[in-house]
């Protein structure tokens, strides 16, 4: 029989070279509930095998950049083992190491983390058979699980039985409330008197959440109280105080649930501005979430994220990316709003190409353009202050 407290050297987490021959896990510190933002950060290892710094690794990527709820101890991805996660992702080391398997990650941590976070967002929304075995094995060692997939592990008898035996928690981030409690749109969004800005995109996994997060942080640094409402699993895992996994909610309730979350943020926080994280793309036939965001938030302005060097839609190799001007036209036709700025995803672009694209887009579209990661954050803030100059009165410029 395998002891719950000791990882065997022949486990699926390790190979013969893993330094865990006599490694024992400390099971003394595990949370009794999963409530976010009520205590100091809980420790976590993020599983992202074969996908870190790639499109499907966006949950892990986001957690490396920011996490209000979890202290990220390490990333698991054998393809990038030995590297620093921040260095790979953004060119700046952040001290979060990448390991080849869970065994070596646990050996480095020295004791059991509070959570193992599944950091991949595959198009299928489901676990592979090997991933399933890994999570079940982690549970036997008393490690709680964070699952952002459409496959709800709390509905799976094998997982619930394992969790009960090990006295651990499984957090199914995308699982919505009971339908009886879900809200339909009722128009109360008009009571939200501060500017509402939606950060949309021309594709999925293009950096909408990252840009919205950076902008929220930078506005707050200036004394402009900004609240971000998350709409996907990664933002919720990062610790967003207000948000929902929009793509897991029945379509009848999407606009109303988002409206309700925005009203909650407005009434509870009295913010100067609310940023709404986008999902998918309005022009993308595989996703309808952008339409619900435009309806539910009724934004006063839109910042549009675009990847100029991306040839085809993510996960759709036969579907070309839209032109930026066509997406702008579609958004402004679909909703009573205005695109106030463009932000770039600079994948596969040189710094010179970024600069040239910014100049060209600004001349062609007569809209301010920047890159949230490679250009000064002031440029991003200026987009908002130019569109909503009244916010400047709150800023410590």
- Rounded Cα–Cα distance for residues 76 and 53 (Å): 12
Is the pLDDT at 209 greater than 60? The verdict is yes
Q: Helix, strand, coil proportions of the chain in percent (round to 5)?
A: 40, 15, 45
Q: Quick one: which H or E segment has residue 226?
A: strand 226-230
Is the pLDDT at 13 greater than 60? The verdict is no
Quick one: pLDDT band at residue 397, thresholds 50, 70, 90?
low
pLDDT at 40: 83
- CATH number for the region 181-394 comes to 3.40.50.300
> Residue 281 — φ and ψ, nearest 5°?
-160, 140
For the chain, which residues make up each domain, given as ranges?
Answer: 42-172, 181-394
The answer to which of 194-198, 244-248, 300-304 has the lowest mean pLDDT is 244-248
- Rounded Cα–Cα distance for residues 12 and 199 (Å): 41
Domain 42-172 has CATH 3.40.50.720: yes
Q: Do domains 42-172 and 181-394 have the same CATH topology?
A: yes
Is the pLDDT at 11 greater than 60? The verdict is no
Is the pLDDT at 17 greater than 60? The verdict is no
Mean pLDDT of 8-15: 32
Is the pLDDT at 375 greater than 70? The verdict is yes
Mean pLDDT of 20-29: 35
Is the pLDDT at 321 greater than 50? The verdict is yes
Mean residue pLDDT of the chain comes to 89
């Amino acid at each position: 029989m395998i002891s719950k407290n000791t990882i065997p050297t022949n486990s699926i987490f390790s190979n013969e070279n893993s330094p865990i021959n006599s490694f024992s896990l400390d099971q003394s510190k595990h949370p009794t509930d999963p409530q976010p933002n009520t205590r100091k950060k809980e420790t976590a290892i993020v599983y992202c095998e074969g996908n870190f710094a790639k499109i499907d690794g966006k949950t892990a990527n986001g957690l490396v950049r920011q996490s209000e709820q979890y202290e990220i101890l390490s990333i698991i991805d054998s393809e990038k083992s030995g590297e620093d996660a921040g260095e790979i992702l953004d060119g700046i080391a952040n001290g979060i190491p990448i390991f080849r398997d869970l065994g070596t990650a646990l050996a480095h941590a020295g004791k059991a983390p509070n959570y193992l976070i599944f950091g991949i967002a595959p198009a299928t929304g489901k676990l592979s058979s090997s991933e399933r075995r890994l999570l079940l094995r982690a549970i036997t060692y008393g490690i709680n699980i964070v699952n952002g997939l459409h496959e709800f592990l709390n509905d799976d008898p094998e997982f619930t039985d394992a969790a009960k035996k090990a006295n651990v928690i499984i957090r199914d981030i995308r699982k919505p409330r009971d339908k009886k409690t879900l809200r339909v749109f009722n128009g109360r969004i008009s009571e939200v008197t501060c500017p509402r800005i939606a950060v949309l995109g021309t594709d999925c996994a293009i950096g909408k959440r990252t840009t919205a997060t950076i902008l929220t942080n930078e506005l707050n640094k200036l004394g402009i109280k900004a609240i971000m409402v998350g709409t996907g699993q990664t933002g919720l895992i990062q610790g967003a105080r207000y948000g929902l996994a929009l793509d897991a909610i029945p379509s009848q309730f999407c606009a109303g649930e988002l409206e309700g979350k925005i009203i909650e943020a407005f009434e509870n926080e009295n913010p100067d501005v609310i940023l709404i994280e986008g999902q998918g793309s309005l022009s993308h036939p595989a996703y309808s979430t952008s339409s619900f965001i435009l309806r539910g938030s009724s934004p006063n302005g839109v910042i549009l994220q675009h990847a100029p060097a991306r040839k085809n839609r993510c996960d759709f190799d036969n579907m070309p990316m839209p032109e930026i001007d066509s997406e702008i036209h579609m958004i402004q036709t679909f909703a009573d709003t205005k695109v106030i700025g463009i932000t770039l995803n600079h994948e596969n672009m040189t710094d010179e190409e970024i600069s040239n694209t910014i100049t060209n887009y600004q001349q062609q579209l007569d809209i301010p353009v920047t890159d949230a990661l490679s250009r000064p954050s002031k440029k991003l803030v200026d987009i908002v202050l130019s569109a909503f100059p009244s916010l400047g009165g709150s800023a410590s410029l």
